Amino acid sequence: MSITKEDISQWFKSLQDDICQQLENADEKANFQEDPWERPGGGGGRTRVISDGNVLEKGGVNFSAVNGKTPVNILQALELEEADFFATGVSIVLHPNNPWVPIIHMNVRYFEMSNGIWWFGGGIDLTPHYVNKDEASFFHNSLKNICDNHHADYYKRFKTWADEYFYIKHRKETRGIGGIFFDRLGAQEGSKEDLFNFVKEVGKGFAPIYTRFMKDNKSREFSQNEKNWQMLRRGRYVEFNLVWDKGTKFGLDTDGRTESILMSLPPQANWVYDYNPEENSKESETLSLLKKDIDWVKDN
């Protein structure tokens, strides 16, 4: 029996439940607040937001399953023939209190049209305020292991895709240290069951990876200078999400819930005119590592 969109949607719901539980356990203070919503054109979702925790200052773990008439601008952008759509997935962004804990984003999703077209998309990327090479290596090795379980070419291909996608063109720097990104994985890539198994492993890999970063860094001391740098890096995150992120644009173009779409933004951020860090500082070192095509797994 072939897997259905309802099967996929239900699994994404269970993934949301599992990730929220693991994050609450790791934070040891804050709990997610749920805000169910309905989309006027069809479908809805569950927005879950956490704030003022021991580790997490603000974050969201969102589930959605929406459907209806595909907007003309989406049809044109994706070069699709007119048909109704169904889209479901889980999207996560977490902003920590401590500058030594990185920002993280994950999205896993499924898209289907009434004319039979379907595909999966998603990925995980990490945005450290300060790049720690050992943590970057652990992160990329973890993703490579997941990819290698499914296809020998996935990690190299999807890592390059992430480097290109999570790039702030007007700053000529990457948003962070990348990760993996993939989109429109459909019948030309393999069976729906095999691709869904890959997406499931990506989703299940998220919480163990990030809760390790939480545990390792939540008690590290930091100065006001490091907090100021965190606010500047958050500003870069905002610039990418509002100017370049296709997921933000898709959500707004399909009349998704604005509060849920913009939950990715940090509680505070800062912009300083023409800011340049001191030479040989840890801030300048981080900027030097915000580049495409760095091989983070070469020493492992």
Q: Rounded distance, CA 262 to CA 242, Å?
A: 9
Judge whether residue 192 has pLDDT over 90: yes
Q: What is the pLDDT of residue 1?
A: 60
Query: What are the CA-CA distances from residue 280 to residues 159, 227, 266, 272, 277 (Å)?
Result: 28, 19, 28, 20, 9
Q: Rounded distance, CA 90 to CA 83, Å?
A: 23
Higher pLDDT, 246 or 158: 158
Judge whether residue 133 has pLDDT over 60: yes
Q: What is the pLDDT of residue 300?
A: 45
Annotated active-site residue in 105, 129, 140, 150:
105
Q: Answer whether CATH 3.40.1500.10 is correct for domain 5-288.
A: yes
Taking only the tens place, the pLDDT of each residue in 38-94 is: 988 899 999 999 999 999 999 999 999 999 998 888 888 777 888 899 999 999 999
105 is catalytic: yes
Number of Cβ atoms within 10 Å of the Cβ of 15: 23
| Size of the chain in residues | 300
Structural domain boundaries of the chain? 5-288
Q: What is the pLDDT of residue 299?
A: 55
DSSP string computed for 240-265: HHHHT-HHHHHHHHTT--HHHHGGGS
Higher pLDDT, 298 or 211: 211
Angle value at C-alpha 143, between 139 and 146, nearest 5 degrees: 145
The confidence band for 252, taking pLDDT boundaries of 50, 70 and 90, is confident
Per-chain mean pLDDT for the chain: 94
Q: What percent of the chain has pLDDT over 70?
A: 99
The confidence band for 173, taking pLDDT boundaries of 50, 70 and 90, is very high
Q: Rounded distance, CA 235 to CA 229, Å?
A: 10
Coil, strand or helix: which one is 158?
A: helix
The confidence band for 223, taking pLDDT boundaries of 50, 70 and 90, is very high
Lowest mean pLDDT among 62-76, 138-152, 285-299: 62-76
DSSP string computed for 55-110: SEEEEEEEEEEEEEEPPHHHHHHHT--S-EEEEEEEEEEEEESSTTSPEEEEEEEE
